[in-house]
Structure 1
Amino acid sequence: MRRIDLHLHTTHSDGSLPPAQVLALAKKAGVTALAITDHDIMDGLPEAMQAGAQLGIEVIPGIEISSRYNDEELHILGYFLDSQDDRLRGRLAQLRANRHKRNPLIIVKLNELGMGLTYEEVRALAGTESVGRPHIARVLMVKGYVQSAKEAFDRFLAYGKPAYVPRELPDPVVAIAWIREARGVPVLAHPGWVKETESGLLALCERLKAAGLAGVEVHYSTHKRAQTTEYLNIARRLDLLVTGGSDYHGITKPDIEVGIGRGSLKVPEKLLEPLKKAAAVN
C-alpha cells in the first residue's frame, strides 16, 4: 500500500537508526515520499537523499523545531527548507547550544537522585550535536535504572518530574518565522500534544496562521479517530494544509514503525502535492 511519512527521526537527532536504514524501512512499508525531520539539525539530509535516489523514494528536506508555549514545548515542523540558509544554520546551532547548557543540569539532578551517569556518556551514545532527553533516557536504560524511555520520562525527565530542567526556546511565532525565512513551509506538529481545549487549539491555530503557519499534522501515530477528525476540521476551517507522519524514533518509541505508526497510520500520497505548491510560492 503506497503512503507517505512526513515525520521521521534519525541518529542525527534522537532517532536510533541512521538515515539510510530509516529509508530502507520506509521502502518495506510502501512509503513513496518522506521527510527527515530531525530536531534542530539537518545534517542527515545528504545521506537520506542518496538512499532515496537508490530506493526510488522522494526525500523532502525537513526539520522539527521546539518552541515554548504556556510553559510547555510546542513543536513546529518545517518542509522544503533551504538547508544551506546561513540564518537558519546559525539559529539551529544556537538551539543545539542551548541543549548543551540544559543537559548537564539534568545529569546533576539525576546524580542527586542516586543515578550514576555523566554527560560525556550521554554525548558518546548520542553521536550527534543535537543531544536531548531521549539520549539521557537511553543511557538510563543501558545502566538499568529504567526499562524504557517512557519510564524515564514518566519518572524523571518530563515536565514537572524530579530531573526536569526547562530549555531556552523561541516563541512559536518566532519558530514559524525562521522556517519561512529559510523558504520552508511551517506545520504544527502532533496537535494532540497541545494542552488546550478544542476551542483553545482553534484559537492557537488562528494566531499561528496569522504569523505564517501553513498546515497541521492531522494524521499522527497516536491520534485517536476523534482527534484526527477534530484536527481535520480545524485545518479545513482555517484553510490550512493537512499533513501527517509517524514520528518514528526507533528505540525510544518502540511501538511506532516507519510509515504505519502503531499499525493503522496511512498518510495519503495526495497530501504531498498541496505541500509542494505551498513551497513553490515561498
Structure 2
Amino acid sequence: MSRIDLHLHTTHSDGSQSPAEVVRLAHEAGVSALAITDHDITTGLPEAITAGQELGIEIIPGIEISSRHGESELHVLGYFLKWEDAQLNARLMTLREGRHRRNPKIIELLQAAGIDITYDEVRAVAGSDSVGRPHIARVLMEKKVVTTAKEAFDRFLAEGKAAYVPRDLPAPVDAIGWIKDAGGLAVLAHPTWVKTPEGTLTDLARQLKGQGLDGVEVHYSTHTPRQTRAYLSLAKQLGLLVTGGSDFHGMTKPDIEVGTGKGSLHVPDHLLPKLKDAVARL
C-alpha cells in the first residue's frame, strides 16, 4: 500500500535537508505524495515541486503556522495553499519578524550564561529568513555546548529554562483564517502537543471547527496506537478530515524518518482524494 507524508520541514525553516533532498528521501521511502510544511515560509516550494516532477512525487503546497492557545502553542497546518498569495506572505513575514525580535533576546540570555554565541552565527546556520530555536540548538551542538538538539532545549531553550523567551503569536482563529484566505485547508497539527484540561480537546476542536478548521493530524510519528484511535474517533465525531505526517526535520529530530516516522508510521494514500475533494469545494 502506498504512503503519503503531509508534514515535512526543510532548510527553508528548521529542517536540516534541502527541499530536493527531502523529496529524494521520500522517493526512497515509497512516498507517493508529500507536503512541505515549513514554519512561516513558502520559499522551499519551487525546489520541491521541481524535484517532485523529476521523481514522480506529487508535491502539496503547505505551511505550518504557530498560534497562541492559553499559555502554550497550538500549531495549524495548511494544505493546497495559493502559496504565492501576497496577503499570505505578508502575514507570514510578520511571524518571521517576530522570531527576529525574539532570537537576539535568547542569544543575550545564553551569553549571560557564559556561552560564546552570536546571532550572526545562528542566521548563517539557518540560511533562510525563517530562523528559530532549532537553529540556535544546532550552533550549540557545533560549539559542543550540548550533544543533541534535545539537550539544548532541555537545558536552555524550552519553556521555563534559562534562555526561554516567549513569542508573539496570532490566535488560532487568525492562523486558520490566514490559511483559508489563501484557499487552503486548515488542520490541527500533532494534537498531543495541545495543552488542554483533561477531556476538553474535543471541545477545543469543536470550537476550532466553528472557526474554519477542516481536519486533524491523526497519524503522527509519536502517536501511540491508542492516541491514533482516539484522534480518528475525534475526527469522525466532529466531521473533520484526517491527515498525517512524520514531522521530519532531519538533524534536530534524528529519530524521525521521512514517510515512516519512528518506523511504524503509515499515512495511507486513500486520505488524499478526500482532501482534494474538500479543497475543491472551498
The share of aligned pairs that are identical, in percent, is: 65
Q: In the alignment, what sits opposite 2:169?
A: 169
**Structure 1 regions of 5+ residues with no counterpart?**
none
- Could you tell me the TM-score, scaled by structure 2's length? 0.99
Q: Partner letter of residue 126 of structure 2?
A: A
Q: Equivalent residue of 2:270, what SS?
A: helix
Give the superposition deviation at 1:197: 4.3
Q: Partner letter of residue 251 of structure 2?
A: I
Q: Partner letter of residue 70 of structure 1?
A: G
Tell me if 1:280 matches 2:280: yes
CA distance in 2, matches of 1:112, 1:258: 38
Q: Equivalent residue of 1:229, what SS?
A: helix
Q: In the alignment, what sits opposite 1:47?
A: 47
Q: Partner letter of residue 190 of structure 1?
A: H
Structure 1 residues 118-152: Cα deviation after superposition (integer angstroms, max 9, x where no partner) = 00000001001000000000000000111100011
Q: In the alignment, what sits opposite 1:33?
A: 33
Q: Partner letter of residue 157 of structure 1?
A: L
Q: Partner letter of residue 120 of structure 1?
A: D
Q: Partner letter of residue 150 of structure 1?
A: K
1:137-216 aligned within 5 A: 137-197=137-197, 199-216=199-216
CA distance in 2, matches of 1:234, 1:183: 25
Q: In the alignment, what sits opposite 2:73?
A: 73
Give the superposition deviation at 1:155: 1.0
**Structure 2 regions of 5+ residues with no counterpart?**
none
CA distance in 2, matches of 1:199, 1:85: 38
Q: In the alignment, what sits opposite 2:269?
A: 269
How many residues matched? 282
- Could you tell me the TM-score, scaled by structure 1's length? 0.99
Q: CA RMSD in A?
A: 0.8
Q: Partner letter of residue 67 of structure 1?
A: S
CA distance in 1, matches of 2:199, 2:209: 15
1:96-107 aligned within 5 A: 96-107=96-107
CA distance in 2, matches of 1:150, 1:17: 18
CA distance in 1, matches of 2:234, 2:240: 8
Q: Equivalent residue of 1:186, what SS?
A: strand
How has the CA–CA distance of structure 1 residues 33 and 198 changed in structure 2, closer, same or farther, with 3 Å as cutoff?
farther
Q: Partner letter of residue 143 of structure 2?
A: K
Q: In the alignment, what sits opposite 1:240?
A: 240
